[in-house]
Amino acid sequence: MIIAIPDDYQGLVPRLDCFSRLAGHDVRVLREPIRDTAALAGRLQEAEVIVPIRERTRFTRELIARLPRLKLIAQTGRSVNHIDVSACTERGIAVIAGSHSSPHTVAEHTWALVLATLRRIPEETRLMREGRWRGTFSVGLHGRTLGVFGCGTIGSLVAGIGRSFGMRVLVWGRERSLERARAAGYDIASGRAELFAQSDVLSLHVRLSDATRGVVTAVDLARMKPDALLVNTARAELIVPGALAEALERGRPGAAAVDVYEEEPVLNGDHPLLAMDNAMCTPHSAWLEKRTMELYFGEAFDQVAAFAKGAPSKLVNPEALSGR
């Protein structure tokens, strides 16, 4: 079969051990990002199987209609919100969702950003390589307040690590988040305003949906302390577009550490946060840990093999097979 893997920006997929499971198939790995629907359809039109990398490409009804040979989309990860499943079903295209998530890698990366920012590790490393010695203070965590916006699986891990550093953990979110926080013995904010105003470090762990898109506003950010740190390893769209850069220019919060952006990949340094000294940016790499990627892609490749043998499982739309 012809198998397409779009959006492998870093060229990591062929380096995975599980990539050998596709031996015997015509595998086409596309590294360059393509946003134009017609151009993307042109690159994918021969594909019988597509293995998307998370939610990097949106498979709209328009795009799916231009892929006449497509039989299967084997998703890496659980989310299929970026796929028009109804359009796939109508055209007899099976959609398979993964079962893996990467909460631990995201939680680890969140704390890597916090520690690197507050302890000024990139700056220290650069100065030492230049033969200089740093002459400024860093910021410790013990006794400070960690705000967690959304205490789900990842948020709970982040909160637990914060507690181990001796931080006060303050939580706000939906009722389920608050129930988890109460059970863990964390403090509950009286509302979003208190969460933003009291947090020394505020980490976002809200799932992106229509209801949460733009949930963090300029008003929220303006409530933060001038020495506070905002961390976003969830989704950039949780924050109103442009609000974070403007808030950093005004000095509230004092710093930000982010791993996610509205348009990815960010190339040629073309993002306002990259020009700011009080912003630390990583390239959506929280989940790019080898064991995690082996799990995600190994599962997807096994599903491709099972589909080729006529024994697919974990179908999101089983009715697509009967309609083909």
Q: Are 222 and 251 in contact (CB under 8 A)?
A: no
What secondary structure letter does DSSP report for 232? E
Q: Is 130 a catalytic residue?
A: no
Find the catalytic residue in 109, 144, 284, 299: 284
Q: What is the largest distance, in Å, between two alpha-carbon atoms of the chain?
A: 69
Does the annotation mark 284 as catalytic?
Answer: yes
The answer to whether 208 and 234 are in contact (CB under 8 A) is: yes
What does the alpha-carbon distance between residue 280 and residue 259 come to, in Å, rounded to a whole number? 9
Give residue 261's identity as a one-letter amino acid code: Y
Set 90, 264, 289, 294: catalytic member: 264
For the record, the structure tokens of 22 come out as 């596709």
Query: How far apart (Å, rounded) are the C-alpha atoms in residues 321 and 48?
Result: 14
Single-letter amino acid code for the residue at 49: V
Strand, helix or coil at 246?
helix
Instruction: Write out the H or E segment, with its range, that includes residue 7.
Output: none
Residue tagged active-site, from 235, 252, 271, 299: 235
Whether 235 sits among the annotated catalytic residues: the reply is yes
User: Taking Cα atoms as reference points, which of 25, 32, 27 lies closest to residue 8?
Assistant: 32
Pair 50, 74: CB distance under 8 Å: yes
Residue the block writes with tokens 């509230």: 252
Q: 298 vs 12, 79, 289, CA distance in Å? A: 13, 17, 14
Nearest to 244 by CA among 255, 234, 233: 255
CA–CA dist 270, 257 (Å, integer): 17
User: Which residues are part of the catalytic machinery?
Assistant: 235, 264, 284
